[in-house]
Amino acid sequence: MCYILYTLHVCQHWIPQPQPGNGPILRICKDAEVMRLGRPCPETEHRVANRSQGMCEKCLWNNVSK
């Protein structure tokens, strides 16, 4: 299943990871690549790729403006 990678921040927000070169955020899985000629699967999996020790940008800004 194709997937989108997220960073899980300490504020419990899932932030999609930016893709270098402004490409699509959706990652094509091997199955889609081979069986569907590079077209993504109809369903998308949401995966935590890594955990951040900090808050997401939005929460950081909220903290600053308080």
Distance of CA 8 to the CA centre of its chain: 9
Least distance (Å) between residue 21 CB and Zn ion: 21
Give the pair of three-digit tokens for residue 38. Answer: 């590079």
- Is 29 a binder of Zn ion (CB under 5 A)? yes
Does position 5 interact with Zn ion (CB under 5 A)? The reply is no
Sign of torsion, CA 19 23 27 33?
A: negative
| Interaction between residue 49 and Zn ion (CB under 5 A) | no
| Interior angle at CA 43, CA 42 and CA 44, nearest 5 | 125
Q: How far is the CB of 57 from Zn ion (least distance, A)?
A: 8
Residues that bind Zn ion (CB under 5 A): 1-2, 11, 13, 29, 32, 41, 56, 59
